[in-house]
Structures are given as C-alpha cells and as structure tokens.
Copies of this chain bind each other. A is one copy, B any other.
Amino acid sequence: MNPPPNEPLLPPPDDTARALVWRLLGQTGVATLAVLEAGSGHPLASRTSYACDDDGAPLILTSRLAAHTAALEHDARCSLLVGEPGAGDPLAHPRITLIGRALRLSRDSADGQRARARYLAALPKAALYADFPDFAFWRLEIERAHLNGGFGRAWVFTPDDWQAARAARA
C-alpha cells in the first residue's frame, strides 16, 4: 500500500535532518529559484547565486532584466532548490526545497546593507554589478521545506519544524 500523495509517511525532522539543512545551505552558492511568472502565473525555474544572511536566510541579487525579478515584484512566493548533484546518480545527492516569500531589501536600510556585505563576502565577484541601479537584494523568508537526503531519506519541515531548524543553527 502506498500512502496518499499529500500524506507521505515521513518521519519528523531530527537532529540529522536539521544538521543536513545547514550543511547544504553552507556548501553551495548556486541554486534554482522557482517563481510565478508575472502576468501568466506560470511556474518559472531559473538559476541564481545566493549567500546566507546572519540567521541563515538565503539572500539573492537580481537584475531587472531577469524574468524572476518581475515575477517576485508581482508575487513574492518562491521556492529555492539547494544542493548540487555531484558524481554518480543525481537523485542520490541530498537537496532541499525551501518554500517561502522574497522580501526586497531597500539599499539604504540596515537589512539591505547587511545583505550586501554578507553577499559580497561570499560572492566577491558580484561587486562588479551589485551597486548598479537595476540590481536589488532580496531576502528569502523561508516558512517550510522539503528535505531529500537521497533515496529513502526524506523529511517535511512544517513551519514549526523550520523554526526548530533555525534555532538549531546557532
């Protein structure tokens, strides 16, 4: 018997799962962003670089030329897939689907200045364009997540589980 698709028989996240979240977020600086296309509402997937804010929230830097920027300005809901496949079967490598909303940071705010510093510390080449007027920093406020640790190892982080994972990061 298979569980219904919306009620998977998954264990609640444990210390191993919480540690894997931060290992994944810390080890790569590239991810795939899913947004809702402005106008059509169609899902769109695009590549993005990211860095992590002081509390682990992903930070991205977007250009107004990118379709995902118009999308996020229209509907802040987004998802970020983190965890690059390595050698061998790509589905055997851990990855996490982060689910939340993107908050555009004002360049002059404390949050915007901290985001810029964190981002450029992690991705120094972005200094070439980070201050162009058509670029902006966004903070992804993560609400829940799906973590896949490889075949047969999966966890769903509810909002409460995600808060516990954030607390476990310190």
Which residues A125-146 have CB closer than 8 A to chain B? 125, 133-134, 146
- Complex Cα distance, B146 from A46, in Å, reads 9
Contact indicator A29/B90 (Cβ below 8 Å): yes
- Complex Cα distance, B7 from A65, in Å, reads 9
Which residues A26-46 have CB closer than 8 A to chain B? 29-30, 32-39, 41-46
Contact indicator B46/A43 (Cβ below 8 Å): no
A159 at the interface (CB under 8 A from B): no
Point out the residues of chain B lying under 8 angstroms from A154, CB to CB: 65
Q: How many copies of this protein are present in the complex?
A: 2
- Complex Cα distance, B147 from A47, in Å, reads 11
Point out the residues of chain B lying under 8 angstroms from A81, CB to CB: 32, 45-47
Q: Which of B29, B34, B84 is in CB contact (< 8 Å) with A45?
A: B34
Which residues A62-78 have CB closer than 8 A to chain B? 64-67, 69-70, 73, 77-78
Contact indicator A45/B33 (Cβ below 8 Å): yes
Query: Chain B: which residue is nearest A154 at the CB level?
Result: B65
Contact indicator B32/A64 (Cβ below 8 Å): no
Instruction: Say how far A155's CB is from chain B's closest CB, in angstroms.
Output: 13
Contact indicator A77/B43 (Cβ below 8 Å): yes
Given A44-B34, A47-B85, A125-B89, the answer on whether A70 and B134 have CB atoms closer than 8 Å is no
- Complex Cα distance, B39 from A133, in Å, reads 37
Given A33-B45, A79-B42, the answer on whether A2 and B65 have CB atoms closer than 8 Å is yes
Contact indicator A79/B2 (Cβ below 8 Å): no
A19 at the interface (CB under 8 A from B): no
- Complex Cα distance, B69 from A2, in Å, reads 14
- Complex Cα distance, B8 from A133, in Å, reads 16
